[in-house]
Amino acid sequence: MSDCLFCKIAQGKIPARIVHQDEDTVAFEDIEPQAPFHVLVIPRQHVATLNDLGREHDGVMGKLLRVAATLAREKGYAEKGWRAVVNTNREGGQLVLHVHLHVLGGRQMGWPPG
């Protein structure tokens, strides 16, 4: 989608600190990190929210989780623990309308989330 910030990052039109990319996904550091480790993993294809998923997205959504786990393991958080979060729409806290998996690690997480 031409007007989407995360589509532009995926296409290299806006700079980001990219930590992983493949044919289906891109992962980059969050510009306002909420933990010592905070990256966003996105599908290259534009999908606005989790509400918009169809069967055709099953594969890439699984891949987002596997990329997240790989990155967390590479950073040494696999055993200690880490968190993956997807915010959805306004009350869910979603500001950027392109599905993204927050991957956070390096501090004790609270529950319930705020």
Count other Cβ atoms within 10 Å, centred on residue 103. 27
Q: Which amino acid is at 67?
A: V
Question: Minimum distance from CB of 64 to ligand AMP (Å)?
Answer: 14
What is the nearest approach in angstroms of ligand AMP to the Cβ of residue 100? Answer: 6
Considering the rule CB under 6 A, would residue 3 count as an interface residue with ligand AMP? no
Is residue 100 flagged as an active site residue?
Answer: yes
Q: How far is the CB of 79 from ligand AMP (least distance, A)?
A: 25
* Subset of 71-110 contacting ligand AMP (CB under 6 A): 87, 93-96
* Per CB under 5 A, 98 contacts Zn ion: yes
CA dihedral 29, 60, 81, 38 (to 10 degrees): 10
Judged by CB under 5 A, which stretch of 20-28, 55-63, 78-86, 93-101 contacts Zn ion?
Answer: 93-101
Among 20, 38, 44, 46, binds Zn ion (CB under 5 A): 46
Cβ-in-10-Å burial (0-12, 13-18, 19+) of 32 comes to exposed
Binding residues for ligand AMP, rule CB under 6 A, total 12
Q: Could you give the CA distance from residue 11 to residue 106 in angstroms, rounded to a whole number?
A: 29
Closest CA to 106 of 75, 71, 63: 75
From the list 38, 46, 100, 102, the catalytic residue is: 100
